[in-house]
Amino acid sequence: MSIKAFGSFEFNKNINMTESSFDITKIAVKHKLGIKLGGNAASYLIKPITGCEEKLPYELLDDPMDVNAQCLFSGDNIEVSVNGKRVDTGESLRSRLFRIQQFFMETIEKVHVDKIVLNINIEIGDEFETLEININDISEILINMYESEGNWTPSIRLIINS
């Protein structure tokens, strides 16, 4: 099963969504993340988010060439292979989550995002927990969740405030 990570960037003022999209993409690449924004994200993931001018839907990916977030959100020491070839980098979960946290922190700071919703490993019909957290706590909270789940990827919705 592939791990999906998606959600929305939420703004409280009228911004230029096109310029903000370019800025967010640059920040994602800087932090070695892939990202699809707006209508480029998988439609079944973003359908509930579309139609609101203050929200920009996104889908977070392993890298610019990938279609999911399997390598980003797999637990520690879990090898991800495709056709018998290992595709994950072996980077620790803590390091990967810190990169994601840094990406979100920079996005909030430079693009003036007020709130970020991040859904991890959620599919239609899944039960999941929703946590409202501070931007500085993302990686630590997720590390604790992985530990409580026996290193399995949790199904969670994070509402991230600056």
CB-facing half-sphere around the CA of 86: CA atoms within 13 A: 7
Q: Nearest Cα to 46, choosing from 67, 128, 38, 54?
A: 38
What is residue 136's DSSP assignment? G
pTM: 0.88
Rounded CA Rg of the chain: 15
> What would the pLDDT profile of 48-71 be if each residue is shown by its tens digit?
665 677 889 999 988 777 777 777
> What would the pLDDT profile of 59-116 be if each residue is shown by its tens digit?
998 877 777 777 787 777 676 666 666 566 677 888 889 999 999 999 999 998 999 9
